[in-house]
Structure 1
Amino acid sequence: MSYAIIIILIVALLIAAIFINAVQQHRQKQEAERRTELAKQRGVVDETESVIAATVNMPVSSRLIGVLHNRALNALRVMNEYAGTSELKNRINNTEQAAAAALSDDSSAPSEFTLPDNDKMIIQYIQAVKKLRIILRSEHSKGQIDSKVFLDEDKQLERLQVKVNVETLIKRGRAALQTNMLGSARQYFEKAKIALENQNTQDDYSSTKLAQLNEWLNEIQSNLKNVNAQDRAKKQEEERDELDELFAPKKKW
């Protein structure tokens, strides 16, 4: 009888150990998932706030800024579910106010556009525009914004992306002209022209820039013809001098 009790106790202990181990593994798995989700949402917040900061000097609409604040807000709320703190609650309140203020402002994107001063800032600008389009597409796929808003805002960002590209090419083309590098200038202007012509819809900006580019390209073509004519004349003169020297009467000594 005592052996039977001992065996039962051993079995009970084994079952208890297995149960405790399973519970611990489950808790460890939950904690790992919690940390992973927190890290994921923290990354969303950091990325979104970085893009919001980059839009300060960009001609984007208040509606798009509201979409960004709303994205950060959703991520903060998920973080609060996993690890609620007073700091998170304050950030949620601040972000709610920022999102509401931006979304209530129905002003459209400013039409003014100024190209950044140096190449590093231009690269950052282009990266920010691309990131905005990715975020916008992601929020649309999640059902956070309707299709009309998505199409309108994405079209504006596409135009902005074209403007940055065109203005950068024009800037480099004008710099090449100043150093009399006509071939390089022509290549820059032709690339800018192609970028504008590839747009699905043309606007005042496209029309104005295309007219300027065509004028500059015509001037370059004219200058290249003049240079080629001068080179041909110079070469002919050199060949004539060589012939004159070759057939000149030999001097008698």
Structure 2
Amino acid sequence: MIFTIIVILIIALIIVAIIINAVQQHKLEEEANKRRELTKVKNIIDETENTLMASSQLPVPMHMLAILNGRIHSALTTMSKLNPKAFDIQQRIEDAANKSQMPESEIPRFPPAFNLPDNDKIIVQFIQAIKRLRMLLRAENTKGRVSQYAYTGLDTYFEKLQLKVNVETLAKRGQAAINSNMLGSARQYYEKSIKALEAQNNQDEYCVQKLTEYRAKLSEIQHILLSEQQPSIESKKEHDPMDAQFETKTKW
């Protein structure tokens, strides 16, 4: 009888140990999943805030700013559920909620005029920021947080903004090359600008205006290059000693 009781106790202890181990493993898995989820939402917040900072000098519509702040609000809400004791989390949630209200105004069709910086590094940062804005816009649209109207309007806007930065930077470099009397380089810059504009499926008012402007500038450059080459061609015709070797000699 005592032996049976001992066996039962041993079996019970083994079962209890297995249960305790299973519970501990489950808790460890939950903690690991929680840490992974927290890392994920922190990365979302950091990525979105960095994009907002990087695009602060660009003409970003209020509609896009609302979408980005809505993305932050969603991530902060998830963080609050995972870690309710996080410092100042509720205040951040309220701030993001206030900033995520979508404006009632129409989404602008064209980017406004703004001065491009002379620093090439900043220009590259501008283009990268626009690409990141479009990437986040697509991500939010995929999650169903952005209406199709807002997505289409904003994506078209940023496509035009990226084109504007690209072609006007090339034209700016082209003008600088003209000022430095580097007409060959200037021609290449304007040719690239024209090619980028011609590649657009929808030739809107901006494309038509810039194509007219840049084609006229390219024509001026080509005219100057041709006029500079003409005297050297004439001079070569007059003084090239090889011409004498192929002249037809007249027999008297």
Q: Is TM more than 0.5 here? A: yes
Q: 1:62·1:106 contact (CA, 8 Å) conserved in 2?
A: no
In the TM superposition, 1:78-227 aligns within 5 A as 78-84=78-84, 85-100=86-101, 103-104=102-103, 106=105, 108-109=107-108, 111-227=112-228
Q: Distance in 1 between matches of 2:35 and 2:134?
A: 29
SS of the counterpart of 2:159?
Answer: helix
Decide whether aligned partners of structure 1 residues 233 and 12 sit closer, same or farther in structure 2, where only a CA change above 3 A counts: same
Specify the alignment match of 1:57 in structure 2: 57
Q: CA deviation at 1:231?
A: 2.1
Are residues 1:69 and 2:69 paired?
yes
Q: TM-score, normalised by structure 1?
A: 0.89
Query: How far apart in 2 are the matches of 1:143 and 1:15?
Result: 48
Q: Distance in 1 between matches of 2:202 and 2:114?
A: 19
> How much has 1:82 moved relative to structure 2?
0.1
Q: CA deviation at 1:228?
A: 2.0
Unmatched tracts of structure 1, length 5 or more: 244-253
State the AA in 2 paired with 1:72: I
| TM-score computed with the length of structure 2 as normaliser | 0.89
Cα contact 2:107–2:153 (8 A) shared by 1? no
User: Within 2, Cα distance between the matches of 1:37 and 1:116?
Assistant: 40
More off after superposition, 50-59 vs 67-76: 50-59
| Conserved 8 A contact 2:41-2:76 | yes
Query: Aligned partners of 1:158 and 1:26: how far apart in 2?
Result: 48
1:10 aligns with 2:30: no
Is there any run of 5+ residues in structure 2 with no aligned partner, and where?
245-252
**Once the two structures are aligned, what percentage of the paired residues are identical?**
43
CA deviation vs aligned residue, 1:94-127 (integer Å, no higher than 9, x gap): 1111222xx2352644622321231111111101
1:230 aligned onto 2:231 = yes
Shifted more, 117-126 versus 169-178: the winner is 169-178
CA contact (8 A) 1:169 1:189 kept: yes
Letter in 2 for 1:122: I
Q: CA RMSD in A?
A: 1.9
**In the aligned structure 2, how far is the partner of 1:143 from the partner of 1:65?**
17
Corresponding residue number in structure 1 for 2:249: none
Query: What are the Cα deviations for residues 31-66 of structure 1, in whole angstroms up to 9, with x where unaligned?
Result: 111111111101111111122223332122111111
Aligned partners of 2:107 and 2:154 also within 8 Å: no
- The structure richer in helix per residue is 1
- Report the residue type matching 1:181 in the other structure: M
